[in-house]
Structures are given as C-alpha cells and as structure tokens.
Structure 1
Amino acid sequence: MISRKLVDFSTKNSFFLFGPRQTGKTTALLSFLKQNHENRYWTVNLLLSGSFLTYEKDPSQFSRDAIYQIEKKQVRCIFVDEVQKIPLLLDEIHQLIESYKDVYFILSGSSARKLKRGGANLLGGRALVRHLFPLTFAELEDNFDLERVLTIGTLPGIYFDSPAVALDKLRSYTEVYLKEEIIFEALLRKVGDFHRFLEVAAQHTSEIVNFENISREAATKGKTVKGYFQILEDTLIGHTLPAWDQSIRKQLSLHPKFYFFDNGVVNGILGSLDGIKFPEFRGKLFEQWLINEIRANIVYSKAPIKMHFWRTQAGTEVDLILSKSAKPFAAIEFKAQKEIGKKHLAGIKSFSEEYAVDNKVLVCEVATSSIYDGIEVLSLTDFLSKRLGELISPKA
C-alpha cells in the first residue's frame, strides 16, 4: 500500500477529511487509527445501509452508541465515514465534543454539498479541516509514469490496473457515482441534461469557462449549466481557477478556468483512453494534472498561497500565477512538449513585463533542465521533486 505521507493526521483535535470518492480516505484513516490507537477507536461507515438507516431514522441513537463506546470500551477516537450522508449527526457530535474533552472525532466526506446547502452544524470551529487528493508525484515515487497519469489518472484503486481494467473502473465510477449519486444528492430532475453537460464539460476541461458555449453544446440553459458546475465543485469532482488581476474586484468579474480533479475521471466520462493521442487534448490533460498536483501540495503544506491564471484580451496567457498577500511571486507555464522555443516563453515574458516576479518557470517534457532567456525550463522530475517545494515553502 502506498503511504499517504503528505497529509497530516497527527492531531488530537477533531477534524473533517474531505476528498473525492476513491481517493483513499477510508484506507488512509483506518491505517492511521490502527497504528496510533490500537483498539481504542470506533468506526461508523454511513455507506453501509445498516448504519445509515439506523442513524438517519434516529440521529440521537448515534450519541447513545458513542457514549457506550467512550465510557464502557474506553474509546478515544470516533471515525464517521461519509458524514455528509446524515448532516444531522453533526449536532450529536457537537454535543459529544463538548461533553468528552479527551475524545476526538474524524469525519470524512466526499461532498460538502449537503453540509453547505442544508445549513449543517459544522462544529463551530471545533474541528479542523483536512483534504485528501489522488496520489501525488511524491507519493508515487518510482511508480510514477507520465502516460499512465495522463490516461488513467492517479486514484489509488485504479492507478496500478491495466488500461482495460482501469477504463472499466472509470466508466463504472462515472455511471455509479457521477451520474447516480450526484444526481440523487443534488435532487436533479433532468438527468439527460446533466449527462450531456458532464460530457461537454470533460471535453472543455482546462479551458476558461464559457457558459454560453457550453450551454449551446449541451443543449441546456445557461443558468442550469452554472448550477451544474457548482454541483461539481460542491461534490469535489472539480474546481475553478480564477483569473489574475491586481484588482480583486476585477478578478471576481472574470471567467475562471475549470479542472476536474483527476485525468482518469475525465477520460472515463468521455469513455476512451485515446485522448492523449491528440496533441491538443494531451496538453489539456498535462495542464490539468500539474494544476491538481500543485494544488494538492499547497493544501498539504498549509502554505498561504493563492493560485490564478493570467490572460490578456489579446489572448496571451500564463497557466499559473502564484501569489501571497495579493502579490504575485511566480509565473508558471506548462507545455506537453519535448522541445521548447521562444514562442513557448511569450506568456511568461509578457506577464513579467507587467509584474515583477522572481520566479519564472516553464515545466515541460524536456530530459534536461536549463535556463532560456532568463526563464527556468524544467523537466517534470526537477520541478516536482525540488523546485515546487522551494516555491511553496514558508521561506519562498
């Protein structure tokens, strides 16, 4: 089993652990509990129908069961898996935290939608928030393979499968989770509209969101399309990357980019692993993976860094701008290319003419890193194994 060494579970405070389905939340947490708590923990899995039906019918039964575990079995940690299935349990947990100061709770969830929309008790700051993402470069170590990352993604239960088995699992993920559970959770009535939207959104991943175009391609109203994107964010299936502008007000008025959380899921939605055969789509997957990789590292390190992209009205673009305290300090471009020329540096050069940034980096598929016109042209290994850590460290 690959160690999830980047995420920190070592705390005596209660915490939420959010992450998309199949990122390995349950496996990682159970491994942590077995190593650190021996038999002094209690697990409640709300994906199991028995537990779900019991506590949905009577949430107070959870408190009675928890008190028995705490007082009679000396349990000191309670793990509730997929807590968003019954948001009312958080009221019970809140009271238990107040009553038993030496007991802490771990609450995992693959969706924040019900918790946010239902006005659920989020424990009033009494619980920390942690996140778990698909496997990162640092976690894969010698198992890293770029073509595999771009085609089947990095979900732990799929990454080591053959392409045929992986595609079958990814299609199942799409059918069972994306199209059934999300539809059920969001109470969507027009199932066909959501299916069409999902495929169109996958085709346009890594692009600036154009609601009008997507609405037309999916034959769905623009307002509905905006709601669907919000559902994907709430259920942790994707996230937006805002545009950079020195003015926060202008940032909010610009259209963001949208990325799915995993390349394999995108290919599963589209029903094929052949996308990387087409240079343009391969470039989208390359960018999406690196954006997700950097995002995961920033979250795991708890660095106070914000991510944006930059684009001028003329179309000049930089894939990623990193900023602290509203000041950009790094401009990073991604190119799924093995040979780099001046044209690939144009975006970073344009940005650096307008904003003074100390770190100008182009990440690509070159075998050897170099400096080109004052810009670091880095191989994937050099960027991910060293330079990224330098950029997001507190000393950066």
Structure 2
Amino acid sequence: MFTRLLEPPPRSFLLLGPRGTGKTTWLRDRLPRARWFDLLLDREQLRLMREPDAFRHEVEALPSGSWIVVDEVQRLPSLLNDVHDLLSRAPRRWRFALTGSSARKLRSADVNLLAGRVVMRAFFALTASELGASYRVEEVLKYGGLPLVASERSREGRSDLLEAYVETYLAQEIRAEALVRRLDSFVRFLEIAALANAQVTNVAAIARDAAIARPTVQGHFDLLVDTLIGAWLPAWRPRAKVKEVAHPKFYFFDPGVVRALARRLREPLESEERGRLLETHVFHELRAHVAYSRCGGRLSYWRTPSGSEVDFLWSRANRAVGIEVKATARWRSEDGRALKELHRSGTIQECFVAYLGDRELRDGEIRVLPVATFLGELAAGRVLLPGRP
C-alpha cells in the first residue's frame, strides 16, 4: 500500500477527489475505528433512503469523540442536512469525514450549509513522493498514478484497468446520474477533449470536431470539472506591457486517464504527446502540493500572442515562481527566454525548469532539474516557498 501525504484534520472534513484515487483506502487506514456508511453499496444507500431517520439515530448512539465516515456522500445528499443538524446541536461530540467525487451534486445539495463546521480537503492520484522508489516518469506518462493502476505490474493489465476506469466513469458518474442528454455525443467530446489536453482550449474547434453545439461543449467541460476529472489553468493577468493570451488551458487530472480517453493506451508515446502528458503530470504534482502543504497561492500560465510561454506560474501575495516543463533530455539556453524575460521584469522571483535530462544545471537565474529531482524539491518545500537552499 502507498503512504499518502495528506493528514486528516482534527475536526470534521469533506474530502473531494476523483473516483479511484484512493480516498476510501486512505480513510480506512487513518480512521480504522470509524463508524462507516458506504454509499457506493447500493444496499446501504437504499437502506438509508427507506429509513430517513436511521442515519441520525445510529450516529446519536455513538460515544462522544467518534469518527463517522460517509463515503461518496453525493449519492445521498440529504444526509448533509443531518450532518449539519448534528454538528449544530453538538459541535464537539462527533467528527465526520465525508467523501465525494462530484462537486455538482454536493453544490446542488447546498454543501455551503456546512461552512464553518466542516473543513475542505482535496485528494489526488498518487504523487511522485507517494510512489516512492517505484516512481518512473515514463511509466507515469503512459499509465498515470491511480493507485490500482500503479499496483498492477503488467502493462496490459494497466491498460485494461484504465479502460475499465473510463467505462466506470461513464456508467456511474454520467449515465446513472443522467448528467448529459446524449451519452454518444459526450463520448465523442471526451476523445476530442483528451486530444486537446494541456493546450489553450478552443471551445469552437472542439464543438466543430465533435459535431455538437458550442454551449453543449462548454457544459461538458463544466461537467468534467464538477466530477473532478479535470481542471482549468487560467492565463496569468499581471499588469504587463504586452497583451497576454486570456484563454485558459484544460488539463485532465491524470496522464493515464488522458490516454485512455484518447484511445492511445496501447500506442507508443509520440514526442508531442509526451510533452503534453509531462505538463499534465507536473500540473497534477503542483495542485497536489498546494493542497497537501496548505501553502495556498494561485496557479496559472503565461503566454503572449507572439508565442512566448511559461507553462506554470505560482503566485501568492508578492511572490511568484515560474516553472517551465521540457520533454527533452537536452537543455538549450534559448528555451529559457520566456522565464528570463519574466524574471527581468520582476514578475517572478524564482525560475525552474523540469526536463527529461539526468543532470542538474544552472542557466543564470534558472535552475534546470531532472523531473524526479524537481518533484523532490517541490515536495520538500524548496520550489514555491522562499528560503530554499
């Protein structure tokens, strides 16, 4: 079993993360004595639907200080009302660990009722630090970091698991919840969106290629975000002399899932594909680090109409860090022009490059690091925050 970086908070919390990232396994490991309500089990969901007071009565029978886990709470959002009422009446008597993989259903159930009583936490696929000695960047680019996939030794088995994951997502999250009117057009959209992963998103072009209306495409992207399958990376908007590109990029949460959706799991990695998958991997690591370390800040990218680009900028208050991702084993000084430009302008204070080479380099103000080394520095807190050696 993989050791996860996230530590449970001492008070009630809502844990949001995509299906299959290991939320249930993590909770069973960290809260072994908790009273468990597993809503993925149809019989448990139906029991609580038939007996609306059962949840409340069973919780009230537990001793003070007990943890109560409600796994995949979006399958029965009405339980949030009971949790709110129980915490309102006795805020220190019980602690709840709620998990969810659909922000849309929780939002429709007004999860904001729990604001101030339940803290929010995010969960992700495995990071390089969590993979430990088994981490291989090429394998992560091909198959991603879902725990079940990473535990499978054969490449054929990994491909089978990822294809099954996509089918499960479509069946349980989309079809069962009736989240789209036409599943066939949504499947076409998914494949095209996967091919456009890690690029500036052109909704009109995707709509044209998928033969569906532009508003429908925008709604499908909203659905991917709501079901935690992907996230937007906005364009950086500083007060700069050059007009920046304002359209966001869309990233799926896991390289293996991207390849499954694009139907490329059994194909060799192409050079252009490798670059986008490496960006996806680093974006995942940055998001996970920001969430797990609680360092805050904002992630974005920077690009001008002339084509100058920095893949990721992290900013908080008066500090900003630029990060470029290069899917090449050689570093050329001209590849760092955009980073140097931002550094000279005072927009960023630190410059990093994560690349596929095996040597650490220094190019003026830029630290050029092998991907694994960069991710180790990130996990150790020596990339985003000041005071690194």
Give TM-score scaled by structure 2 length.
0.93
- Contact 1:150–1:286 (CA<8 Å) still a contact in 2? yes
Who is 2:19 aligned against? Answer: 21
In the TM superposition, residue 60 of structure 1 has moved relative to its aligned partner by 2.5
SS at match of 2:149: coil
The answer to whether 1:150 aligns with 2:141 is: yes
SS at match of 2:383: helix
More helix per residue: 1
Q: How do residues 16-165 of structure 1 correspond to structure 2 at under 5 angstroms?
A: 16-34=14-32, 39=33, 41-68=34-61, 70=62, 76-100=66-90, 101-120=92-111, 122-161=113-152, 162-165=154-157
Who is 1:283 aligned against? Answer: 275
Superposed CA deviations along residues 275-294 of structure 1, whole A, max 9, x for unmatched, are 55210011000110011111
Change in 2 beyond 3 A, CA 1:122/1:289: farther
Who is 2:265 aligned against? Answer: 273
In the TM superposition, residue 328 of structure 1 has moved relative to its aligned partner by 5.1
Question: Larger deviation: 287-296 or 365-374?
Answer: 365-374
Who is 2:188 aligned against? Answer: 196
**Runs of at least 5 residues in structure 2 that lack an aligned partner in the other structure:** none
Change in 2 beyond 3 A, CA 1:245/1:355: farther
- Contact 1:167–1:272 (CA<8 Å) still a contact in 2? no
Superposed CA deviations along residues 181-232 of structure 1, whole A, max 9, x for unmatched, are 2243353111111000000010010011111111111111110101100100
Q: Which amino acid aligns with 2:25?
A: T
In the TM superposition, residue 245 of structure 1 has moved relative to its aligned partner by 1.1
In the TM superposition, residue 175 of structure 1 has moved relative to its aligned partner by 1.1
1:170 is aligned, of 162, 177, 181, to 162
Aligned-pair identity (%): 36
Q: Which amino acid aligns with 1:239?
A: A
Question: Following the alignment from structure 2 to structure 1, what is the Cα–Cα distance between the partners of residues 293 and 268?
Answer: 31
Question: Following the alignment from structure 1 to structure 2, what is the Cα–Cα distance between the partners of residues 150 and 17?
Answer: 26
2:237 is aligned, of 245, 259, 263, to 245
Q: Which amino acid aligns with 2:55?
A: F
In the TM superposition, residue 375 of structure 1 has moved relative to its aligned partner by 1.6
Change in 2 beyond 3 A, CA 1:130/1:376: same
SS at match of 1:282: helix
In the TM superposition, residue 251 of structure 1 has moved relative to its aligned partner by 11
Question: Following the alignment from structure 2 to structure 1, what is the Cα–Cα distance between the partners of residues 347 and 68?
Answer: 49
1:338 is aligned, of 329, 333, 336, to 329
The answer to whether 1:351 aligns with 2:342 is: yes
In the TM superposition, residue 244 of structure 1 has moved relative to its aligned partner by 0.2
In the TM superposition, residue 139 of structure 1 has moved relative to its aligned partner by 1.0
SS at match of 1:392: coil
Who is 1:258 aligned against? Answer: 250
- Contact 1:370–1:377 (CA<8 Å) still a contact in 2? yes
Question: Following the alignment from structure 1 to structure 2, what is the Cα–Cα distance between the partners of residues 296 and 84?
Answer: 22
In the TM superposition, residue 129 of structure 1 has moved relative to its aligned partner by 0.8
Question: Larger deviation: 252-261 or 16-25?
Answer: 252-261
**Runs of at least 5 residues in structure 1 that lack an aligned partner in the other structure:** none
Q: Which amino acid aligns with 1:150?
A: L
Change in 2 beyond 3 A, CA 1:121/1:351: closer
In the TM superposition, residue 148 of structure 1 has moved relative to its aligned partner by 1.1
Q: Which amino acid aligns with 1:245?
A: R
The answer to whether 1:9 aligns with 2:8 is: yes
- Contact 1:263–1:285 (CA<8 Å) still a contact in 2? yes
SS at match of 2:131: helix
SS at match of 2:354: strand
- Contact 1:179–1:195 (CA<8 Å) still a contact in 2? no
Question: Following the alignment from structure 2 to structure 1, what is the Cα–Cα distance between the partners of residues 342 and 24?
Answer: 43
Question: Following the alignment from structure 1 to structure 2, what is the Cα–Cα distance between the partners of residues 185 and 292?
Answer: 27
- Contact 2:36–2:68 (CA<8 Å) still a contact in 1? yes
Q: Which amino acid aligns with 1:348?
A: L
Q: Which amino acid aligns with 1:81?
A: D
Q: How many residues end up aligned between the 2 structures?
A: 384
In the TM superposition, residue 64 of structure 1 has moved relative to its aligned partner by 1.6
Question: Following the alignment from structure 1 to structure 2, what is the Cα–Cα distance between the partners of residues 375 and 134?
Answer: 29
Change in 2 beyond 3 A, CA 1:353/1:212: farther
Change in 2 beyond 3 A, CA 1:167/1:373: same
In the TM superposition, residue 33 of structure 1 has moved relative to its aligned partner by 1.2
Question: Following the alignment from structure 1 to structure 2, what is the Cα–Cα distance between the partners of residues 345 and 124?
Answer: 44
Q: How do residues 298-337 of structure 1 correspond to structure 2 at under 5 angstroms?
A: 298-325=290-317, 327=318, 329-337=320-328
SS at match of 1:391: coil
- Contact 1:303–1:394 (CA<8 Å) still a contact in 2? no
- Contact 1:114–1:185 (CA<8 Å) still a contact in 2? no
Q: Which amino acid aligns with 1:376?
A: R
SS at match of 1:125: coil
Question: Following the alignment from structure 1 to structure 2, what is the Cα–Cα distance between the partners of residues 158 and 285?
Answer: 17
Question: Following the alignment from structure 1 to structure 2, what is the Cα–Cα distance between the partners of residues 303 and 125?
Answer: 20
- Contact 2:377–2:383 (CA<8 Å) still a contact in 1? no
Superposed CA deviations along residues 227-276 of structure 1, whole A, max 9, x for unmatched, are 1001000110000011001159x999921111011111111112232555
Question: Following the alignment from structure 2 to structure 1, what is the Cα–Cα distance between the partners of residues 371 and 341?
Answer: 23
